Structure 1
Amino acid sequence: DDNPETDDPKVIDEVSFVPNESPRDGHGHGTLMAGILSGTGAASSTGFYSGDETKNATIREYTQIGVAPASKLLNVKVISNDGSGDASWIVSGIEWAVEHGADVISMSIGAYPERPGDVIMDAVKAAVEAGVVVVVAAGNDGPGSFSISTPALSPYVITVGAVYETENITFFSSRGPAPFYVLAKPDLVAPGAAVISTSREFNEEKGVYYEEVWGTSAATPHVAGVAALLRQAFPNASAYEIKAALMLGAKDLGVDYCIQGAGLVDALGAYNVLSTRSKPIAFAPPKIDSMSWPTVALYPGDFKVINITVVGGENLTDATWRIEGSIKDIASFTSAEKLCLHKVYTVREKEISDTTPHLFIYGDNYDSGDMLELGNYTGLGTVAIQIVIPEDAEPNHYSGYLRLYSGGKVVASLPIKIDVRRPKAKVIFDDVSQFPEDRETLWGGSFMGWGVELWWRDVAQAGYDVDSLMQVMNKTGLDPWAILLSGNYQVIYLHDTDLRMGISGALPKILDSNLSIVALYDGGFEYSLISSEVYTEWSEIALIGVAENFNKEHPISRGVKCVPALGGLGLAVHEDAEIVATAISYDDPSGSAVFIATYEAEGGGRFIAIGDSNIFDCARTPDFTWYYLWKNYEVEVASID
């Protein structure tokens, strides 16, 4: 009971599957989540806990009410007092909740998905099939794609990302698609930044009852609470219909589905869906276009593969999928057993998969036509499609639908629109991973897993066709340097690790053939024109700065105001190179370094060097620098251009 004046049982049953620990929350995470979902807000407070501090604030009674304050809780302890857990404990907890009549299971937990499928995913599937709505945190490993945790990557659960109070997606909220399956995830987003909730560390003497919490963990009980309200209002609605209504009723925030899902959870919107539609049915994603994740399909030779989920609706016995419209000319169902391949590494004698795809699988060999038998449909189904733009395609517009049929009638439709353009130029992106030294990949992020896909979309929209070096190698069987020197590309996007391990002597030849290079540095690469250099005064603490003092006359700088910068590296400029921008360190404003420089060879090729490989990531994720400074250096930044 969270009301100091009463002794009403909020928790109606409890159990602990953690050996030698009682059901009591010895960590605090569960209490915070319970308050967001079910708190009465009856307690007033003189402040709230924030990390190790107590913030003074007058919190009046009944202002911090949970989403479903009249709901009752089953306290199922599956995480130990020190915050660790075991898959067997979690599975047992899910099964116990189902057996004891749970209407909704809220899981603000998750783990790195080491391989496709696991026992927890099996357990949540069984729970949903038994009629229970299961809501799971997406994870806090954003903003790179393919960062959804397990069991959140299951199509059966409602996967929840986080937003700030401004309704912008938090930088940390994990993005889709789901690793291994290329499923559109998350499903929804909800408040997950600076949420105030009930604290297990409450102090009656000081009158402090609340605590601040961040993360997709905090977003999850918001959605679980709405699901509980819907179950109360519509007791005959299935778990699939509840999920479909939440998705259809959500507020679209205008960003890609693999960032926001269907949008911001909206209790009234979901209620209205169930009030006006007998058997709501929803798609994830709700549409497909040239720029939707996981790949850009805008230029000749581009492709897109994705697993589409349909949820809700009537139970069907003779269902079929069909692709209709002009989109049939370039789209088909795919017979590929896997839509992508993942590298598996041995870490401390344990095999772990890289969640970022190593290679996407598509092509004529997997073309299964435009009609596919689904057979029995009982509330949830998935289907994989591929879109492949021919190498010789002319500018065109393809449109149509993926449709679910039953008895000759259309049950649900998903619109697909693909534009084909002629590029201004072609860019080859070196995404050939050389783990553990190198994690640059076009699909899931850069050295630290952040932001490449956002850069890719921007470049594509500006008129430049970006190809994956890995995909081209797989398609042609050619050596990487043969591809770079093939004459098919005007710009090469490289990272320093790849340059070190490649044939650096080829660089002058590339530049003299009127081919330009953009190189992002992590250190260690030496080149006679521009080289990276570790400054000893920044070797202990990373350079955290803002690229400033732009050479405004240079084309690279045109229109650029400010670029956030992370890293401990500067550039040493040699011979005829031009300085484009310098950077300062926040912890030592007196220190500065060249951060962006360029050189033009006699053959017309331009070499552009950027001092750290995360430079574009931060530029595309404006709030990251603010959070990084706040978290690590307690420095607050008022704004970032």
Structure 2
Amino acid sequence: MSASDKLPAGLEGKTAAANGRLTAQLPAIGLATATSTDPGFAAKAAKIEGVRSVIHDFSYQGYNPQPRTLDATAANGAALGSANPFYALQWGFEAMQVPQAWATGARGQKVRVAVLDGGFDLQHPDLQNNIIASESFVPTEPAQFMGMGFSHGTHTAGTVAALDNNLGVVGVAPEAKLILAKVLNDNGTGSFSWMIKGIYYAVAQEADVINLSLGAAIPRSSRYLDDNGTPDNPADDVLVNETREIQELLVAIGKATTYARQQGVTVIAAAGNDANDGNHDGNLVNVPATSPGVISISATGPMGWANDKPGTSLDRMASYTNYGTADVTFAAPGGDFVYPTNELVNFRGFRSNVWAFDMVLSTNRAGGYTWSAGTSMAAPHAAGVAALIIGKHNGQLAPAQVEAALRASADDLGKPGRDPYYGYGRLNALRAVSQLQ
């Protein structure tokens, strides 16, 4: 990382002189990546004039393994205003008044949404015609999802912009275009440099919105004893202090998110699924959710919605969602899986477990569909609403204006004002687009 937002001149040659090889340069934010087999490379490269710091490329688990997923098969269900067969089960649209927003003409026209995630089903019939670009920043894997299980990236992309094509589900902004960047491998793990490169790529592709349904909780300070593989010999223990490297990592991520916002991109991220209390656990920082310029989304979800009982709330806070006054900007539908039993129910022309209907239904690998839950599912709902707002404004709206519109229109469901759970409120698509008329 450079000392400014410019890279030092002749960096490639200077990196080679330090026994390293430059692998990528992000000149607009003063970041570069390099590789080396020399254990002293970091110290040598840090001495290059204009270099602020050289840190390891930390790896992380970008999203949690899904605690419960269940494949959905097309059936003859009640359409409730849409010809897409699974629309009847997309309760998040009811919560945010999405169909009413569509009725005003807001459908995400002229908007580009970049989804940074794991792999994607690039041939999915509910997505293919909305995909305008795709790229993988995972060195060993293509952008196409190659796994056999749940495709997290395909699911989030569908929530944003699945086509309104009388097939499967529909996205919040069905006329928005998708830029798909693979920044985690198909198991959900990756390096922070991949995410940073993905953000840089999204800006270059002229994205209007970036959705980051990924993240990690990082300790602000980290000191520990490394036993060097000899746990029975304390004399071999070495004190490792990663605090400075972590602080520099946070700066690097912040450079990327700040750059995106400065370039006119609204950046939205999942708040995280660890039920962390940001008001009291001061040593943990959730990135990129709390990085500069990022709109952080907590999750709501019903419990027992398919029982169809009066008073069942679609706006109940999800059991797993992170919270904290400074950590959550808004809430959006993310679903939940804590309904305590496994009974089957017939609901709106479909039959499944009660707990399944409480989750978010969207696209999955191999042209399929599945339910899932998490702030990863809440963030794309928010990204879709942002796309509706921008589209309503003819595809041109600055991030500050988008955030102001979201804030002015959100339903303030918690304590008045910004609270630890809903932030400024649960997003309301109809109110958000109506105030722009």
Map of 1:187 onto structure 2: 329
SS at match of 2:365: strand
Report matched runs for 1:430-449 at 5 Å: none
Map of 2:105 onto structure 1: none
Map of 1:144 onto structure 2: 277
- 2:431 is aligned, of 269, 276, 280, to 269
Aligned residue identity for 1:15: E
Map of 2:397 onto structure 1: 237
Q: Aligned partners of 1:66, 1:2: CA distance in 2, in Å?
A: 16
- 2:134 is aligned, of 3, 9, 14, to 14
SS at match of 1:14: strand
Q: Aligned partners of 1:242, 1:161: CA distance in 2, in Å?
A: 18
Whether the 8 Å CA contact 1:13–1:74 is kept in 2: the answer is yes
Q: Which has the higher contact order (CA 8 A, sep 6+)?
A: 2
Whether the 8 Å CA contact 1:196–1:211 is kept in 2: the answer is yes
Q: Aligned partners of 2:165, 2:139: CA distance in 1, in Å?
A: 34
- 2:409 is aligned, of 226, 240, 249, to 249
More strand per residue: 1
Q: Aligned partners of 1:137, 1:7: CA distance in 2, in Å?
A: 22
SS at match of 1:258: coil
TM (norm. structure 1) is 0.36
Report matched runs for 1:195-206 at 5 Å: 195-202=360-367
Report matched runs for 1:394-409 at 5 Å: none
Aligned residue identity for 1:198: T
Q: Aligned partners of 2:436, 2:286: CA distance in 1, in Å?
A: 30
Q: Aligned partners of 1:2, 1:254: CA distance in 2, in Å?
A: 41
Map of 1:258 onto structure 2: 420
Report matched runs for 1:443-462 at 5 Å: none
Q: CA deviation at 1:9?
A: 2.8
Whether the 8 Å CA contact 2:130–2:177 is kept in 1: the answer is yes
Whether the 8 Å CA contact 2:414–2:421 is kept in 1: the answer is no
Poorly superposed stretches of 4+, deviation over 6 Å: none
- 2:161 is aligned, of 24, 35, 38, to 38
Map of 2:297 onto structure 1: 160
2:378 counterpart of 1:213: no
Aligned residue identity for 2:329: D
What do you get for the CA RMSD once the two structures are aligned? 2.2
Q: CA deviation at 1:266?
A: 0.7
Mean CA deviation greater in 97-106 or 252-261? 252-261
SS at match of 2:189: coil
| Cα separation, partners in 2 of 1:197 and 1:257, compared to 1, 3 Å | same
- 2:216 is aligned, of 98, 102, 111, to 111
Whether the 8 Å CA contact 2:156–2:377 is kept in 1: the answer is yes
TM (norm. structure 2) is 0.53
Q: Aligned partners of 1:112, 1:121: CA distance in 2, in Å?
A: 15
Report matched runs for 1:91-130 at 5 Å: 91-115=196-220, 116=247, 117-130=250-263
Q: CA deviation at 1:272?
A: 3.1
Whether the 8 Å CA contact 2:127–2:158 is kept in 1: the answer is no
Whether the 8 Å CA contact 1:3–1:40 is kept in 2: the answer is no
| Cα separation, partners in 2 of 1:95 and 1:7, compared to 1, 3 Å | closer
Report matched runs for 1:272-283 at 5 Å: 272-275=434-437
2:143 counterpart of 1:23: yes
Aligned residue identity for 1:246: L
Q: Aligned partners of 1:224, 1:84: CA distance in 2, in Å?
A: 23
Q: Aligned partners of 2:411, 2:154: CA distance in 1, in Å?
A: 28
Map of 1:87 onto structure 2: 192
Whether the 8 Å CA contact 1:87–1:119 is kept in 2: the answer is no
Structure 1 stretches of 5 or more lacking a match?
44-60, 178-183, 203-208, 276-641
**Is the radius of gyration larger for structure 1 or structure 2?**
1
Report matched runs for 1:379-398 at 5 Å: none
Structure 2 stretches of 5 or more lacking a match?
1-121, 221-246, 303-312, 336-358
SS at match of 2:411: coil
Q: CA deviation at 1:7?
A: 9.5
Whether the 8 Å CA contact 1:143–1:171 is kept in 2: the answer is no
| Cα separation, partners in 2 of 1:229 and 1:78, compared to 1, 3 Å | same
Q: Deviations over 1:403-427 (max 9, x none)?
A: xxxxxxxxxxxxxxxxxxxxxxxxx
Q: Deviations over 1:148-177 (max 9, x none)?
A: 621111241111000013201112111114
Report matched runs for 1:184-583 at 5 Å: 184-193=326-335, 194-202=359-367, 209-234=368-393, 235-255=395-415, 257-275=419-437
Q: CA deviation at 1:113?
A: 2.5
Q: Aligned partners of 2:425, 2:165: CA distance in 1, in Å?
A: 31
Q: Aligned partners of 1:171, 1:270: CA distance in 2, in Å?
A: 27
Q: Aligned partners of 1:135, 1:7: CA distance in 2, in Å?
A: 20
Q: Aligned partners of 1:266, 1:189: CA distance in 2, in Å?
A: 10
Q: Deviations over 1:431-488 (max 9, x none)?
A: xxxxxxxxxxxxxxxxxxxxxxxxxxxxxxxxxxxxxxxxxxxxxxxxxxxxxxxxxx
Q: CA deviation at 1:21?
A: 1.1
Whether the 8 Å CA contact 2:269–2:379 is kept in 1: the answer is yes
Q: Aligned partners of 1:9, 1:39: CA distance in 2, in Å?
A: 9
Map of 2:224 onto structure 1: none
Q: Aligned partners of 2:153, 2:299: CA distance in 1, in Å?
A: 18
Q: Identity percentage over the alignment?
A: 36
Q: CA deviation at 1:201?
A: 4.3
Map of 1:293 onto structure 2: none
| Cα separation, partners in 2 of 1:225 and 1:128, compared to 1, 3 Å | same
Whether the 8 Å CA contact 1:2–1:40 is kept in 2: the answer is no
Q: Aligned partners of 2:154, 2:209: CA distance in 1, in Å?
A: 17
SS at match of 2:218: coil
Aligned residue identity for 1:259: Y
2:207 counterpart of 1:65: no
Q: Aligned partners of 1:2, 1:196: CA distance in 2, in Å?
A: 19
| Cα separation, partners in 2 of 1:215 and 1:19, compared to 1, 3 Å | same
Q: Deviations over 1:579-614 (max 9, x none)?
A: xxxxxxxxxxxxxxxxxxxxxxxxxxxxxxxxxxxx
Q: Aligned partners of 1:170, 1:65: CA distance in 2, in Å?
A: 23
Q: Aligned partners of 2:433, 2:183: CA distance in 1, in Å?
A: 32
Q: CA deviation at 1:121?
A: 2.3
Aligned residue identity for 1:214: A
| Cα separation, partners in 2 of 1:8 and 1:149, compared to 1, 3 Å | closer
Aligned length: 244
Q: CA deviation at 1:79?
A: 0.4
Whether the 8 Å CA contact 1:249–1:272 is kept in 2: the answer is no
SS at match of 1:35: helix
Q: Aligned partners of 2:380, 2:199: CA distance in 1, in Å?
A: 16
Aligned residue identity for 1:200: R
| Cα separation, partners in 2 of 1:35 and 1:242, compared to 1, 3 Å | same
Q: Deviations over 1:56-115 (max 9, x none)?
A: xxxxx46x2110111111111100122111011111110011011111100001011233
Aligned residue identity for 1:192: G
Aligned residue identity for 1:174: N
Q: CA deviation at 1:20?
A: 1.8
Whether the 8 Å CA contact 2:268–2:296 is kept in 1: the answer is yes
Aligned residue identity for 1:186: V
Q: CA deviation at 1:8?
A: 5.7
